[in-house]
Structure 1
Amino acid sequence: MALLYGLITALAFGAGDYIAGQVTKRVPTLLVVLYAQAFGAVVMLPAALVSGHSLSVSAVIWGLLGGLSLGLGFLLYFHALSLGKMGVVSSIAGILSAVIPVAAGLLIGERPGTAALAAIAMIVLSIFLISKKDANGKTGGTTVKVLLQSAAAGVLLGGFFIFLHIPASGESMWTVFFTMSGSFLGVAVLLIVRRADIRVKKQAWPFILGNGFLQTFGAVTYVAGVNIGLMSIVALAGALSPLFTVIFARLLIQEYLNKFQISGILVALSGIALLVVTT
């Protein structure tokens, strides 16, 4: 069941990333992140109030840290994508966002088992393959600065999974509320410093709100998963969001899938199947 929650998280994040990719063609990324996270916080407040979960210092601190990690991670990731080769950037960020929570889980004593570790390796490989672009992809140069931004984005997105795992299960809904709030506040401060125009055309709102709902829903299913299972497995499954992003792009806008991405999808499905029969 924990693995299923992780896969639902990946599905929600992957769909959200697809929507964000479409709307950021017309709206600045900062504004998409700002309003999506604000909507997520609005959605989570009544949910947290009626959940019966405890509003604790732990939920506030780790939720805010998770939100800042998520918001800053997205901003660095999108900025790196705009500057470097998309395949390189997405591979580095995707792999680190998967490996870091797995490593953290192993460090705190989680032992997934030999077969599960083999599945973990397969899924990490699949993320690399799914993120890889061929000659039809972006051809811009990838500098050391872009590589560092990609790595930092992956570390921060991996940290998001770790921070949400720390509070007790009876604090989960408040943790997600403060995660969305922390992400919103971090981006809001950046926009205030830049004195940016925060107006958005009405045509973009359904996409922005849809992205915010999906990210929030994914965070909820993630904490539900880690409350009953291993973080090293649930977070790894949650990091499979690129799998669902490319599937949505293929189904909805007939985006071309290269041989690497097709291979990555097959490897991911194999790794998931192995996890299903071993966990």
Structure 2
Amino acid sequence: MAVALALFSALAYGVSDFVGGLISRRASAWAVAVLANLSSTVCVAVIAAFVPGEPTATDFAWAALAGLGSGAGTGFLYRGFSSGRMSVVAPVSAVGAALVPVVAGGLGGERLSLLVWLGIVAALPGIWLVASVPEDDLSRVGGGTTSTGRAGLAEGLVDGVLAGLGFGVLFAALGQIPDSAGLWPLTLSQAVSVPVVIGLAVVLRAAWVPRGRPVRWALLAGPISAVATGSFLLATQQGFLTIAGVLASLYPASTVLLAALILHERVHRAQGLGLVLCAAAVVLVAVG
């Protein structure tokens, strides 16, 4: 059951990210993240009111940390989607999202197996290859010139790494919350993510106030994200954090598929090999 919940979480995250990323190309990525996280908070709060639980102060502390990771992950992921290719940013973010819970477990006393280390080694060239785009595509990535394309690709890669670290923190922190806590800690996590997004936008001098019709569609991404996060929390409560974290990190699969089918983004040979390595890394970490 834990595996099924984690995989469903990955599917829901991928769909939510695609919706949010698509809107981020027509509106401020930070405004999209604010509205999506707000709607997600409301959805979780409504459900939490009907779910019994006795959360402790420690549970809320972990939830607050998860909110920091969620806010940073969502903001940088959407910004990366707005400036780079979904098929680049999403897989790169997934590697960090998968590895951070593993590292957290190692620091907590868990010993990493040889397979896990092999997965980490496979992830490094995987990121490099996924981020590679042929010369004739660089102009399309950045919007006009080769130099602009390279800049847009680099920004997207950095955003993918930062988003992965944020989601990794989210996964690792949520994994510390027991099922006896109910869903109010998850509500706090979603609520904390909103001021985190706003704070990052202010520091980066980016627009974060939702304006215009396109950004309103971000309200759809919130409920889907809430379902994804809730499913992941249940998965960690019924199974191992490492396994749930890695399986949930498969979310780029649906994002890349939707990007290819709807946006007609091409996956080139080098990127394909990178995706295979990233997938291998995820599998090795899960098996290990």
In 1, distance between residues paired with 2:274 and 2:154? 26
- The alignment status of 1:156 with 2:155, answered yes or no, reads no
With 94-103 and 177-186 compared, the bigger mean Cα shift is at 94-103
In 2, distance between residues paired with 1:261 and 1:242? 13
In 1, distance between residues paired with 2:206 and 2:84? 27
In 1, distance between residues paired with 2:90 and 2:59? 30
SS in 2 for 1:200: coil
CA contact (8 A) 1:59 1:174 kept: no
Aligned length: 276
Deviation of 1:188 (Å): 3.8
CA contact (8 A) 2:31 2:208 kept: no
Residues 18 and 66 (structure 1 numbering): CA distance in 2 closer, same or farther, change over 3 Å?
same
In 2, distance between residues paired with 1:98 and 1:197? 28
CA contact (8 A) 1:15 1:245 kept: yes
Code of the residue aligned with 2:237 in structure 1: it is N
Residues 124 and 190 (structure 1 numbering): CA distance in 2 closer, same or farther, change over 3 Å?
closer
Alignment of 1:24-103 (within 5 A): 24-79=24-79, 93-103=93-103
Alignment of 1:198-277 (within 5 A): 198-205=209-216, 207-263=217-273
Deviation of 1:161 (Å): 0.8
Residues 195 and 162 (structure 1 numbering): CA distance in 2 closer, same or farther, change over 3 Å?
closer
Residues 204 and 196 (structure 1 numbering): CA distance in 2 closer, same or farther, change over 3 Å?
closer
Alpha-carbon displacement from aligned partner over 1:107-157 (angstroms, at most 9, x marks no partner): 435568666x48955984796388434212433248999877654443222
Code of the residue aligned with 1:68 in structure 2: it is L
Code of the residue aligned with 2:211 in structure 1: it is V
- The alignment status of 1:3 with 2:14, answered yes or no, reads no
Alignment of 1:145-184 (within 5 A): 151-184=161-194
In 2, distance between residues paired with 1:90 and 1:58? 32
Deviation of 1:189 (Å): 4.7
Alpha-carbon displacement from aligned partner over 1:55-82 (angstroms, at most 9, x marks no partner): 4323322212211221123334455666
User: TM (normalized to structure 2)?
Assistant: 0.77
Which ranges of structure 2 fall in alignment gaps of 5 or more residues?
A: 142-148
Superposition CA RMSD, Å: 3.8
In 2, distance between residues paired with 1:134 and 1:183? 32
CA contact (8 A) 1:84 1:140 kept: no
Code of the residue aligned with 2:241 in structure 1: it is M
CA contact (8 A) 1:48 1:177 kept: yes
Residues 197 and 186 (structure 1 numbering): CA distance in 2 closer, same or farther, change over 3 Å?
closer
CA contact (8 A) 2:7 2:247 kept: yes
Which ranges of structure 1 fall in alignment gaps of 5 or more residues?
A: none
Deviation of 1:87 (Å): 7.9
With 188-197 and 34-43 compared, the bigger mean Cα shift is at 188-197
Identity %: 22
Alignment of 1:67-146 (within 5 A): 67-79=67-79, 93-110=93-110, 117=116, 120=119, 124=123, 128=127, 131-135=130-134, 136-137=137-138, 138=141, 139-141=149-151
In 2, distance between residues paired with 1:88 and 1:204? 23
SS in 2 for 1:157: helix
In 2, distance between residues paired with 1:18 and 1:216? 15
